[in-house]
Amino acid sequence: MSIARTNATGAGGMLPELLAWSSSLSLDRQMVREDLLGSAAHVTMLARTKLVTVTDARAIREALMRMLLEVDTGKLAIPDGEEDIHMAVEALLHKRLSPAVAGRLHTARSRNDQVATDLRLHVRGQASATLAEIAALVKELAERASREGDKLIPAYTHRQRAQPISAAFLVAAWASQLSRAGDVMAFALSRCQELPLGSGACSGTSLPIDRLLTARLLGFPGVTQNALDTVGDRDFALDFTWAVARTLLALSRLATDVIDYASAEFGLVALDGSIAAGSSMMPQKKNPDVFELVRGQSGRAIGNVSALMVLVKGLPTGYNRDLQEDRRALLESGPFARGALSAVRQAMPHVHFDGARGAGALVDGSTQATDLAEALVRKGVAFREAYQAVGALVRKATDDGVWLSSIEPEVAAKIHPAIDAAALAVLDPMLAMQAKESLGGTGPKSVAAQLEQLRAHAEVLAGQASAAPTLSSLAQTIASEPLEP
C-alpha cells in the first residue's frame, strides 16, 4: 500500500475507506498469472538492456516465477488492502526481496501499460479457449446433422409453417450462425497481437528499453504503435465482449427453436428427462430450462458490450481510472460464454427430432404449394401464372374441406390445364424437400455440401484457437530466456 505512495500527495495515504472502495483487487486477482508473467518478461528485458543488473533481475524473475508456481498450487496469499493486482504483486515482491532489488521491477513501466498488457493476455487466453469451444460445437452440430438422415420438419417464416425441410438442414443453420460468431471471436483473438507494455504512463520512456524483446517473450508478434492511444485503448476488450455477445445470440436463437419445438403445440422435438426441469407445483411439467437460461444469459452478454461502450465513449485520450470499470464485464465474459457453449453441447444429444410428427405437419400439402407452382414452371408456365393457379387450387381445397395433397387431378385440371397427376406428385413433402438441391437448399446433396463446409470451417477456427500461446508455454519461454545482455 505504501509502495506507490509518493510524497507528492502530501498525505500519509489514501483514506482507508476510499482505498478499499476504489480497489479493483477483488476482481483483478483473477489476472495474477498474467501480471506475474508480464513482470517476468519485463524484468528479463530490463536485464538485457542493462537497465537492471543480471543478479537483481534473476532474483526478481525467480521470485515471480515462484509466485506463479504458488498460484498454480493454490498457495499464493495475495495481500488484501492493495489498490489492484499490480500493487499486490509488487508488495509481495517487497516482502520476499530487499527494497533495493524489488524496487527495480517498475523501471520504465506504469500500471497503465501494465494493466493494458494483463488485459490483453487475459483476452487472448479467453478468446482462444472460447473459440476452441465454438469450433467444437460447430463440428458436433455438423455431425449431428449428418446423423438426422431425411427426417422432415416444417421450416417457418413469420412463425407460420412455410416449406418442408430436413431436420439436418435446421441443425446446419444453427451451426452456420454459430460459425459466424466463431469468425468474430477469431477477429477478437487477432486484436490481441500487439504488446502494450513499454508505453509507460502515456508517452513512452527515456530509458533504452527493448519492447520487441518483451513482445516476443509474451508471444505478441508486434507492439502497439502510440503510447498515448495504447493506455486508453480498450477496443480489444470491446471486440471480445462483442464476440461473446454474438456467440450467445447464436445460442439464444437455437435455444428458442428448441424451446418452441419442445412444446405440445409444435411437438417437433422431445427432450430427455436428464436435461428437462420439473415444476414445483405442476406434476406434469417437463421444462426446457437449460435452453431458457441460455437465452436469458444472452441478455447479460449484450449488457456487457454496452457497459464497455458507455465506459469508453466520453473518455479523454489517454488513461483514466474509469477504465478500471472494464473489469467486471470483461472478466466474466469468457467463463460466461464457455458455460453456455458447454451447456448447449451437453444438452443437444438429449434433444430428439420427432420425424413422424414433423412429417405429419406437412402431409396436407399446403406447405408444398410453392413446389407445385415450380412443377408448373418446369412445364413452361410463367411463375406468376402458376402461382395464381396454385393459389386458386389451395382456395378450392379449403372450400371443399380437403387437403391440397388429396385433391383429384380432374378437379385440379379445371383450375389450370398444366396441373396433372405428375405435377401433383410434388405435394409429397419428402419429394419436395429432396428436390431443393439449389446451392444452400435443403436437398440432401446440398446439405451434405453445407456440412462439409461447416466441418472445414470448424477446423480453421480450431486451428486459430490453438495457435494462441498459453500462459504455461510463456512461463517456460520466459524462465529459460537468458538475462545476460
Q: Output 94-100 pairs: Cβ under 8 A, ≥24 positions apart.
A: 94/3, 96/63, 97/59, 97/60, 97/63
Residue 298 interacts with ligand ARG (CB under 6 A): yes or no: no
Q: Which is nearer to ligand ARG, 115 or 168 (CB)?
A: 115
Q: Which is nearer to ligand ARG, 36 or 115 (CB)?
A: 115
From candidates 205, 224, 324, 446, binder to ligand ARG by CB under 6 A: 324
Q: Is 279 a catalytic residue?
A: yes
Q: Which is nearer to ligand ARG, 10 or 273 (CB)?
A: 10
Residue of 180, 294, 151 lying closest to 242 (CA atoms): 180
Cβ pair 108, 201 in contact under 8 A? no
At 194, is the secondary structure helix, strand, or coil? strand
From candidates 42, 48, 111, 151, binder to ligand ARG by CB under 6 A: 111
Q: Which is nearer to ligand ARG, 44 or 112 (CB)?
A: 112
Stretch that binds ligand ARG, among 182-190, 267-275, 316-324, 365-373 (CB under 6 A): 316-324
The secondary structure of 76-113 as a DSSP string is ----SS-SSHHHHHHHHHHHHS-HHHHTTTTTT--HHH
Query: What is the rounded CA–CA span in Å between residue 240 and residue 271?
Result: 33
From candidates 95, 158, 159, 321, binder to ligand ARG by CB under 6 A: 321
Least spacing, CB of residue 10 vs ligand ARG, in Å = 17
Residue 24 interacts with ligand ARG (CB under 6 A): yes or no: yes
Query: What is the rounded CA–CA span in Å between residue 394 and residue 400?
Result: 10
Angle CA(375)–CA(380)–CA(384) in degrees, nearest 5? 75
Residue 117 interacts with ligand ARG (CB under 6 A): yes or no: no
Of 158, 274, 280, 438, which residue is the catalytic one?
158
Cβ pair 347, 274 in contact under 8 A? no
Residue 106 interacts with ligand ARG (CB under 6 A): yes or no: no
Stretch that binds ligand ARG, among 108-116, 221-229, 348-356, 368-376 (CB under 6 A): 108-116
From candidates 39, 44, 112, 117, binder to ligand ARG by CB under 6 A: 112
Query: What is the rounded CA–CA span in Å between residue 172 and residue 443?
Result: 12
Residue 323 interacts with ligand ARG (CB under 6 A): yes or no: yes
Least spacing, CB of residue 83 vs ligand ARG, in Å = 6
Q: Is 438 a catalytic residue?
A: no
State the residue for C-alpha cell 418446369: 378
Query: What is the rounded CA–CA span in Å between residue 3 and residue 94?
Result: 9
Q: Which is nearer to ligand ARG, 83 or 257 (CB)?
A: 83
Stretch that binds ligand ARG, among 186-194, 321-329, 401-409, 417-425 (CB under 6 A): 321-329
Of 22, 203, 279, 306, which residue is the catalytic one?
279
Least spacing, CB of residue 308 vs ligand ARG, in Å = 13
Alpha helices in 314-424 (DSSP H): 327-347, 355-360, 369-378, 383-400, 409-415, 421-424
Residue of 14, 7, 17, 195 lying closest to 87 (CA atoms): 14
Alpha helices in 232-288 (DSSP H): 235-261
From candidates 34, 84, 257, 332, binder to ligand ARG by CB under 6 A: 84
Residues 225-264 that bind ligand ARG (CB under 6 A): none
The sign one gets for the Cα dihedral 369, 375, 381, 383 is positive
For residue 351, the surrounding DSSP H or E stretch is strand 351-353
Q: Which is nearer to ligand ARG, 35 or 133 (CB)?
A: 35
Stretch that binds ligand ARG, among 215-223, 239-247, 320-328, 459-467 (CB under 6 A): 320-328
Catalytic residues: 158, 279
Q: Which residues bind ligand ARG (CB under 6 A)?
A: 24, 83-84, 111-112, 115, 321, 323-324
